[in-house]
C-alpha cells in the first residue's frame, strides 16, 4: 500500500524527488515480497501436514504481478475480478496475467488461516499435487495467489492418492462453503449457505498422469460410529468443475460430522491420463478424526405431566439428532427443622418409552410423601448435558 499510494501521490504533487519515490517503491515491494514468501511457507506447512507434496517455490516476480492486480482492483471500484481492461486505471499486462491465473480473496489475510479454507474450488487449486511454484500478494485485506502459472512438479514414481484431510490427521467437523460464482455442493443439490461436514479432497497422481488428467469417482463412502454418512460427490466430469479443480474430486458430507470422532473414508476412481487414453483405476482408504467443538445443546424440554395414585407420567422432548441419554433423577423430599431437603437417589420402577424425539416416563412410587423428579440429558459425541428444574409431586 505504501509504495503504490506513495508513488501515485508523489506524481500528483510533482514535488517528491526521484530518490524519495525510489525508496517508497523499494521498501513497499520488499514488504510485499516478504509477506508473499511467508504465505507460501504457510501453505507448504499446511500441505505437508496432510501428506501433500510441499516445497512450493516462492517467485517474487509473480508476487509483484499479483500486487499489480490488487492495485488494479482497488483503482476500479474495489470488487474482485480476474480480468483487467486495457485503458482502465492500474492496467498492466503483468497484473492481467496474474488475475487470470490466480485465486482471489477480499476481507481476509493469511495472518490467521488460509483465506480459502471454506472455498472448495479455490482451496483445491492450492492443494494441487503438481503445484510447484507461485507468487502471493497479501495486503489491505486482499489476497492474490497464483495457482495456474506452474504445475510442473515431477510425477511420483508410482500411483498415489493424496487427500485433505490427510490420513491420521485431526480436522474440523463442520463447514459452510462460500465462494463465487458457486460452490461444488450447489452443483449436486446442496443449497448455498448449507452447513455441511468438511469437504474431503481426493487427488490421484502417478507416472502416467499430467496436470490435465481427469478423474471420475465411481464409489465413495464415509463411515463413523453411527454408520455411513450421506455424501455428495463431484469430480472433473461434474458440469461446472471441468478445468477448475486439479485431477480428482471431492466428497461432501451433507450434514456436519460429530466432534471428537474418528471417520474412515473410501473412494474408487477411474482416471483418464489424456484424451483417448485408457482409464486407470485408483482406490484409496484413509481415516481422520474431528476436533472437539463446543457442546451442542440438546434442547431438552418438558412436554407434559400427569399423575394417578402413586403413578406419575412425564413426557420430554429433545432436538432431532441429539446424542445422549434422557432420564429422570428422582429424590424423596423430607421436611426437617422447617426446611425441605430432597436427598438420595431412589430405586423405583420406571418405564421409559421413546418415539422419535419424544420420551415418555412412567414412574411407579411405592411410598407416600413429597418427591422431586428432575429431567436430565447426559450428552455424548459432542452434545452437552442439560438439566431442567425439578418437578414436585405429593403422593398419598
pLDDT per position as a tens digit, 181-228: 999 999 999 999 999 999 999 999 999 999 999 999 999 999 999 999
CB 393 within 8 A of CB 369: no
Neighbour count for residue 128 (Cβ, 10 Å):
24
pLDDT average, residue stretch 147-171: 97
Asked if the model's pLDDT at residue 152 lies above 80, the reply is yes
Which pLDDT band holds residue 333 (cuts at 50, 70, 90)?
A: confident
CB 176 within 8 A of CB 195: yes
Residue 260 has which C-alpha cell?
471428537
CATH architecture of 155-293: Sandwich (2.60)
Between 350 and 143, the higher pLDDT residue: 143
Asked if the model's pLDDT at residue 88 lies above 90, the reply is yes
Residue holding cell 516476480? 61
| Per-residue confidence (pLDDT) for residue 380, from 0 to 100 | 66
pLDDT average, residue stretch 121-131: 98
What percent of the chain is predicted at pLDDT more than 90?
68
Length of the chain: 396
Asked if the model's pLDDT at residue 51 lies above 80, the reply is yes
Which pLDDT band holds residue 42 (cuts at 50, 70, 90)?
A: very high
Residue holding cell 490466480? 102
Cis peptide before 165 (omega within 30 of 0): yes
Asked if the model's pLDDT at residue 335 lies above 80, the reply is no
Asked if the model's pLDDT at residue 22 lies above 50, the reply is no
Pick one of 3.30.1490, 3.30.2010, 1.10.287, 2.60.40 as the CATH number of 301-395: 2.60.40
| Per-residue confidence (pLDDT) for residue 338, from 0 to 100 | 67
Between 15 and 241, the higher pLDDT residue: 241
Asked if the model's pLDDT at residue 106 lies above 80, the reply is yes
What percent of the chain is predicted at pLDDT more than 70?
91
C-beta contacts of 92-96 below 8 A and 24+ residues apart: 92/68, 94/64, 94/65, 94/68, 95/65, 95/68, 95/69, 95/71, 96/69
In angstroms, rounded to a whole number, what is the distance separating the alpha carbons of residues 100 and 149? 10
In angstroms, rounded to a whole number, what is the distance separating the alpha carbons of residues 282 and 235? 14
Asked if the model's pLDDT at residue 20 lies above 60, the reply is no
CB 97 within 8 A of CB 59: no
Cα distances (angstroms) measured from residue 368 to each of 321, 333, 345, 371: 38, 11, 16, 9
Residue ranges, comma separated, of all CATH 2.60.40.3780 domains in the chain are 155-293
Which pLDDT band holds residue 265 (cuts at 50, 70, 90)?
A: very high
pLDDT average, residue stretch 68-80: 95
Asked if the model's pLDDT at residue 12 lies above 60, the reply is no
Which pLDDT band holds residue 382 (cuts at 50, 70, 90)?
A: low
| Per-residue confidence (pLDDT) for residue 108, from 0 to 100 | 82
Asked if the model's pLDDT at residue 133 lies above 50, the reply is yes
Pick one of 3.30.457.10, 3.40.33.10, 3.30.360.10, 1.10.540.10 as the CATH number of 1-153: 3.40.33.10
Which pLDDT band holds residue 325 (cuts at 50, 70, 90)?
A: confident
Residue 145 has which C-alpha cell?
495467489
Mean pLDDT of all residues belonging to the chain: 88
Asked if the model's pLDDT at residue 348 lies above 50, the reply is yes
Which pLDDT band holds residue 345 (cuts at 50, 70, 90)?
A: low
pLDDT per position as a tens digit, 290-311: 998 777 788 999 999 999 888 9
CB 373 within 8 A of CB 333: no
Between 10 and 227, the higher pLDDT residue: 227
The backbone torsions φ and ψ at residue 68, rounded to the nearest 5 degrees and listed phi first, read -65, -35
Asked if the model's pLDDT at residue 7 lies above 50, the reply is no
Asked if the model's pLDDT at residue 376 lies above 90, the reply is yes
| Per-residue confidence (pLDDT) for residue 239, from 0 to 100 | 96
Amino acid at each position: 500500500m505504501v509504495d503504490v499510494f506513495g508513488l501515485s501521490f508523489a506524481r500528483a504533487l510533482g514535488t517528491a524527488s526521484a530518490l524519495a519515490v525510489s525508496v517508497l517503491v523499494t521498501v513497499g515491494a520488499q514488504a510485499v515480497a516478504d509477506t508473499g514468501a511467508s504465505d507460501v511457507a504457510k501453505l507448504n506447512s499446511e500441505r505437508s501436514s496432510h501428506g501433500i507434496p510441499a516445497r512450493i517455490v516462492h517467485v517474487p516476480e509473480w508476487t509483484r504481478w499479483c500486487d499489480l492486480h490488487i492495485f488494479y482492483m482497488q483503482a476500479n471500484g474495489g470488487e474482485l475480478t480476474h480480468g483487467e481492461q486495457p485503458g482502465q486505471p492500474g492496467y498492466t499486462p503483468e497484473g492481467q496475467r496474474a488475475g487470470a491465473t490466480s485465486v482471489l480473496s477480499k476481507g481476509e489475510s493469511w495472518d490467521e488461516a488460509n483465506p480459502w479454507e471454506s472455498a472448495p474450488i479455490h482451496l483445491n487449486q492450492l492443494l494441487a499435487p503438481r503445484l510447484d511454484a507461485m507468487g502471493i500478494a497479501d495486503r489491505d485485506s486482499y489476497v492474490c495467489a497464483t495457482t495456474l502459472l506452474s504445475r510442473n512438479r515431477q510425477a511420483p514414481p508410482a500411483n498415489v492418492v493424496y487427500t485433505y484431510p490427510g490420513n491420521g490427521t485431526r480436522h474440523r467437523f463442520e463447514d459452510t462453503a462460500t465462494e463465487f460464482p458457486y460452490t461444488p455442493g450447489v452443483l449436486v443439490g446442496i443449497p448455498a449457505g448449507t452447513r455441511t461436514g468438511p469437504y474431503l479432497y481426493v487427488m490421484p497422481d502417478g507416472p502416467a498422469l499430467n496436470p490435465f488428467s481427469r478423474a471420475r469417482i465411481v464409489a465413495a463412502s464415509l463411515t463413523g460410529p453411527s454408520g455411513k454418512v450421506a455424501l455428495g460427490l463431484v469430480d472433473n466430469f461434474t458440469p461446472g468443475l471441468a478445468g477448475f479443480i486439479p485431477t480428482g474430486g471431492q466428497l461432501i458430507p451433507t450434514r456436519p460430522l460429530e466432534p471428537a470422532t474418528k471417520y474412515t473414508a473410501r473412494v474408487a476412481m477411474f482416471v483418464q491420463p489424456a484424451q483417448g487414453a485408457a482409464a486407470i483405476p485408483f482406490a484409496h482408504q484413509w481415516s481422520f478424526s474431528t476436533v472437539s467443538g463446543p457442546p451442542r445443546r440438546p434442547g431438552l424440554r418438558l412436554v407434559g405431566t400427569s399423575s394417578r395414585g402413586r403413578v406419575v407420567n412425564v413426557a420430554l422432548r429433545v432436538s432431532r439428532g441429539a446424542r445422549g441419554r434422557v432420564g429422570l433423577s428422582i429424590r424423596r423430599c423430607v421436611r426437617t427443622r422447617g426446611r425441605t431437603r430432597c436427598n438420595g437417589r431412589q430405586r423405583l420402577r420406571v418405564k421409559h418409552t421413546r418415539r422419535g424425539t419424544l420420551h415418555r416416563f412412567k414412574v411407579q412410587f411405592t411410598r407416600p410423601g413429597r418427591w422431586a423428579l428432575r429431567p436430565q440429558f447426559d450428552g455424548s459425541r459432542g452434545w452437552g448435558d442439560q438439566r431442567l428444574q425439578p418437578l414436585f409431586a405429593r403422593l398419598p
